[in-house]
Structure 1
Amino acid sequence: MLAEVHETVGRITTGVVTSAIPALARVDPHRFGLAFAGVDGELEGVGDWDQAFSVQSVSKVFSLALVLAHDGEALWSRVRRQPSVHRFNSLSELDGDCGIPRNPFVNAGALVVTDRLLGITGNAKAAVLDLLHTESGGGPHFDPVVAADEQAHNHRNSAIAHLIADHGNLHHPVEDVLEHYTWHCAIAATCGQLATAALFLARGGIRANGSRLLSAADTTRLNATLLTCGTYDAAGDFAYAVGLPAKSGIGGGILAVIPGRGVLCAWGPALDSHGNSVAGALALSAFTSITGWSIF
């Protein structure tokens, strides 16, 4: 099935790599990988599925899971769960909403999640990497070149963080929150590693070692939030075309959950106007069409 999807995707010629981070702007736009990790331990991939790439906003899945594991419902007084009609790094809604981000997957929401995780763990960036590393069996790592580039071009996220802080919704210094947020976005991992690391979302919250990270109810709610908010202002179109809870990132990755079956991770660096991978979205749509594995 993965080979058939790979053939369907072919060599995508639409979309452009992000220009926001110089290190990512240099990535070959024609790279493509797709991996499936099954709840039974199966791991299969095609294309560049074992090539590490910058996970960027895909990391927000793991930071949110760690906070929900500790705080449960408490986080939702600081972050809403509503889809946004604006770009992922927009400031336009935030001031009118009194510094309460629309959802945890836009940059504003992820900064608040990082702020809370920093309070829980004392080291948010290490907590996210440790979860990825443990659940995947090793491999994910920080990319200092990407982190340095992000920190040097972080003006919009800095503005977002200062606006949230002005409304009293950050509990740590802006500079500290931005540092930890930037570093966990700068984690590098392969499609196979990311799909394996996220299997707790397909197992009802159960980790690789059999312990529980999230309750079944919180896992369902996190997946629901992924479906409605995980692909930014294109979430409705993505749900229509793919029918799976998913999280994208400007590094070109898209992580998609098939509850009870497994997790898919697609990577294609060329992005559409919403910041989602063109090849990744096409691959996931083809996969669910071939298999019929949709939540609907």
Structure 2
Amino acid sequence: MQSIIDEIAEQMLLTEDKGKVATYIPQLARVDSNQFAITVALPSGEIFSAGCANTLFSIQSVSKVFTLTLALGKLGDYVWTRVGREPSGDPFNSIVQLEHEHGRPRNPFINAGAIAIADTIMQGHEPKETLAEIIQFIRFLSDDDSITIDEKVARSEQKTGARNTSLAYFMASFGHFENPVEKVLGTYFHHCSIAMNTVQLAKAGLFLANNGINPNSGTAIVSPKRAKRINALMLTCGHYDGSGEFAFRVGLPGKSGVGGGILAIAPGKASIAVWSPGLDPIGNSKLGTLALEILAAKTGWSVFGE
């Protein structure tokens, strides 16, 4: 495994077209695009890394996997009254579908859906309390108490978050919100600004590769059935309107973020985190996707067979 990912990392660094960093969030626009990291975490406890695997990056929408897991733990199937389970086929920040579908987001991974999930998690609490719960959950999953929020990124998101603010108020106009919109947005912007490295992220995703059990602690985070369903949503919706392409090329459940990170799950086998800040035109990590495609091919880990 180590030789496979070393080879992949070397190939990625030699690739000329590394995509373009997200520029609409000023703090992300400053990140050097010539960086690449990959970590493969196995349920046995073995960790394999290559590239700058200790470099922190903004996980952005990858955080939505963890907020969805929390929401399901708190509210069970009630969550599906707030968000759907279908691929969007539209950009992650589209408002068009919301109007057609009366303010109910298509799935929990597009921005509108994740904002709705933040609202369900809050349950009348203040953003600071909710964020403390989210951070504590991710720290527990990754067995690392150093994980925190990058406040500079959070401020940058809030200053440039007009589209997300519009989405939130539009949903609220249908009477769907249970908490003040500004507080929900504060929670959302900050959980997207959590900073992690690929080692931490791969370890945090292990419960989804291990029938819902966190092998670090032996704790059941979710039932096997729920782990399967979260993985299914990651496969069909985790890359927005590029989800079909990702499934076609990589064949693994995955969740991307505009910070350049991707968490991918090989059920029963491994949790994989990749990071390269250059994005493709849809907003998914260009080299991260390529690296996962090569890894899946070399290991035969695609859920669709070798």
Structure 2 length-normalised TM: 0.94
Preserved CA contact (<8 Å) 1:11 1:30: no
Is 1:5 matched up with 2:8? yes
Query: Partners of 1:190 and 1:154 in 2: how far apart?
Result: 24
What do residues 31-86 of structure 1 show as CA deviations (whole Å, max 9, x unaligned)? 10000111000111100111000000000000000111122211001100110111
Verify: 1:130 aligned to 2:133, yes or no: no
- The question of 1:241 aligning with 2:249 is answered yes
Q: Which residue matches 1:146?
A: 153
Report deviation, 1:241. Answer: 0.3
User: 2:34 — aligned with what?
Assistant: 30
* In 1: Cα distance, 2:18 partner to 2:135 partner: 32
Q: Give the counterpart letter for 1:99 in structure 2.
A: G
Unaligned runs of 5+ in 1: none
Is this contact kept in 1: 2:154–2:190, CA < 8 A? Answer: yes
Consecutive unaligned residues of structure 2, counting only runs of 5 or more, are none
DSSP 3-state at the match of 1:244: coil
Q: Is the aligned partner of 1:45 residue 2:49? A: yes
Residues 229-263 of structure 1 deviation map (CA, whole Å, 9 limit, x = unaligned): 00110000100100000000000000000111110
Counterpart for residue 91 of structure 1: 95
Count, aligned residues: 296
For 2:76 and 2:219, the matched residues in 1 are separated by 17
Q: Residues 209 and 262 from structure 1, CA distance in 2 versus in 1: closer, same or farther, beyond 3 angstroms? A: same
Q: Hey, what's the Cα distance between the residues in 1 that align with 2:54 and 2:162? A: 32
1:34–1:265 CA contact under 8 A, matched in 2:
yes
C-alpha offsets along residues 128-187 of structure 1, whole Å, 9 cap, x if unaligned? 211111121213211111111111111000000000100111111110000000111111
Q: CA deviation at 1:294?
A: 1.1
2:277 maps to 1:269: yes
Match of 1:216?
224
**Alignment correspondent of 2:268:** 260
1:107 pairs with 2:111 = yes
1:60 maps to which residue? 64
Report the equivalent of 2:300: 292
Contact 1:59 1:128 in 2 (8 A): no
RMSD, aligned α-carbons = 1.2
2:197 aligned residue: 190
Q: Do the aligned partners of residues 5 and 137 (structure 1) sit closer, same or farther apart at CA in structure 2, a change above 3 Å counting? A: same
SS in 1 for 2:45: coil
**Contact 1:124/1:180 (<8 A) preserved:** yes
CA shift at 1:121, angstroms?
Answer: 6.4
Q: 1:113-138 deviations in whole A, cap 9, x for unaligned?
A: 10011118653322221111112121
| TM value normalised by structure 1 | 0.97
Aligned mates of 2:263, 2:79 — CA distance in 1: 23
| Cα distance per residue 1:207-241 (max 9 Å; x no partner) | 23222221111110010000000011000010010
